[in-house]
A = this chain, B = another copy of it.
Amino acid sequence: MKVRVYVSLKNGVLDPQGRAIQHSLEGLGFSGVRDVRAGRLIELEVDETVTDAQLDEMCQKLLANMVIENYRVERISA
């Protein structure tokens, strides 16, 4: 089973990488970009036996830093 985990910075947390991307887009001539936030996408291939609780635990222990980041888990195929 395929699982996607989306990790993004919480609101209010400074995002220098996102700011750098935004400035680069402006430098390339793109207008209309008001804000950019950079996050991570982690794709897992797991056995059917892996539960949602286990996936949550993986995120909280390793994949996301719960102090500054939020995560969202999405199961792609059963």
Contacts and interface: CB of A to CB of B under 8 A. Distances in A.
B34 A45 contact: yes
Interface residues of A, number: 34
A46 B28 contact: no
A12 B54 CA distance: 28
Contacts of A49: 32
A62 B8 contact: no
A58 interface: yes
Contact of A41 (B24, B39, B47, B57): B39
A51 to B, nearest CB: 10
B43 A37 contact: yes
Interface string A51-64: 00010011001110
